[in-house]
Amino acid sequence: MKSTVLVAGGAGFLGSHLCDRLLADGNDVICVDNLFTGREDNIRHLYSNSHFKFILHDVTEPLIIPCDKIYSMACPASPIQYQKDPIFTARTCFLGTLNLLELARQNKARILLTSTSEVYGNPLMSPQPETYLGNVNPNGVRACYDEGKRIAETLFSDYHRQYGVSIKIVRIFNTYGPRMSETDGRVISNFVYQALRGKNITIYGDGCQTRSFCYVDDMIEGFVRMMESSVDFIGPVNLGNPYEITIKEIAELIKHLTKTDSKIVYCTAPIDDPQCRNPDISLAYYSIGWEPMVSLKEGLIRTIQYIRNSNL
């Protein structure tokens, strides 16, 4: 059924791919973004589509837009970006979420929050199920995002309980693919850009910390399935690839796939950098029939090709 869907943060890496998918599914899409980390280049190809509209707006300010569904994705998502202005990040997580929930309430719209695996902090158990309450430092340099997303989940849950707003919550684990910015500090984008330019591939820490990487198309499929799932199923639900790999192994794989002569070098690990990230996706599999389909190698080949074809 055709809907008018608002994507807050729609000019970002994930948001722009979601706009593509929603339009392909026959929806009218309203992209709202302040371009703090989003880029018009990510959505420029959609400007000629009569079913797409871009609104330059900061969600920390209220908005009144008729819509049927809302994806709440507006927040800097990489450590470099969200630590650049931590108070702005916290304001976006709280005020931005509050404003979008009010919009959902006014429109009687369903709203989905893209939360994060960062709500688990530096986990003391692995893999992490949705029932794990986390190990988060509320005073650390990452807290603006970690705690910001936790309060966003709280607001969603309270709007559902107090006002009956139809909500969905997903927790995103590391995602990669085309349109990643080279300046966002994410592991795969850093390594690929460094490798293709023949620069040193920089690992922060000893490289033994683990991550689980999910290709963007799989992640977007998870968003859509969750949004369209039964009204009684609200989450939170982990979305990510349960295949766990060390940072050193991913660096070596990217070096092999790019055929680079770059050297792998080691630097000091960031403060509060989690030692493991691995989702338990049992709930997603059994509740919405979701699991990642793109292998890490295939996803990396697509990502490397995209970056190689872009203006390095």
pTM of whole model > 0.85?
Answer: yes
What does the pLDDT look like over 121-139, one tens digit per residue? 988 999 999 999 999 999 9
Average pLDDT, the chain: 94
Give the residue-averaged pLDDT of 90-100.
97
The verdict on residue 260 lying in a domain is: no
Let me know if 163 is a catalytic residue: no
The verdict on residue 35 lying in a domain is: yes
**Alpha carbon of residue 205 to chain centroid:** 23
Q: Which listed residue (71, 120, 145, 215) is catalytic?
A: 145
Judged against a pLDDT cut of 80, whether residue 26 lies above it is answered with yes
Q: Tell me which residue range forms the domain holding 93.
A: 4-177+214-241+275-293
The verdict on residue 208 lying in a domain is: no
Judged against a pLDDT cut of 90, whether residue 285 lies above it is answered with yes
pLDDT at 277: 83
The verdict on residue 267 lying in a domain is: no
CA distance between the termini of the chain: 41
3-state secondary structure 49-64: CCCEEEEECCCCCCCC
> Which CATH number is 76's domain given?
3.40.50.720
Contacts 24+ apart (CB under 8 A), 158-166: 159/101, 159/104, 159/105, 160/234, 163/105, 165/101, 165/104, 165/105, 165/111, 166/104, 166/109, 166/110, 166/111, 166/231
The verdict on residue 57 lying in a domain is: yes
pLDDT at 185: 75
Owner of token pair 């059994």: 286
- Between 3 and 207, the higher pLDDT residue: 3
What does the pLDDT look like over 180-236, one tens digit per residue? 988 777 889 999 999 999 999 999 888 888 889 999 999 999 999 999 999 999 999
3-state secondary structure 201-253: EEEECCCCCEEECEEHHHHHHHHHHHHCCCCCCCCCEEECCCCEEEHHHHHHH
The verdict on residue 247 lying in a domain is: no
The verdict on residue 312 lying in a domain is: no
Least confident of 64-78, 196-210, 213-227, 277-291: 196-210
Least confident of 8-22, 51-65, 125-139: 125-139
**Per the structure, how many domains does the chain have?**
1
The verdict on residue 286 lying in a domain is: yes
Confidence label for 32 from pLDDT (cuts 50, 70 and 90): very high
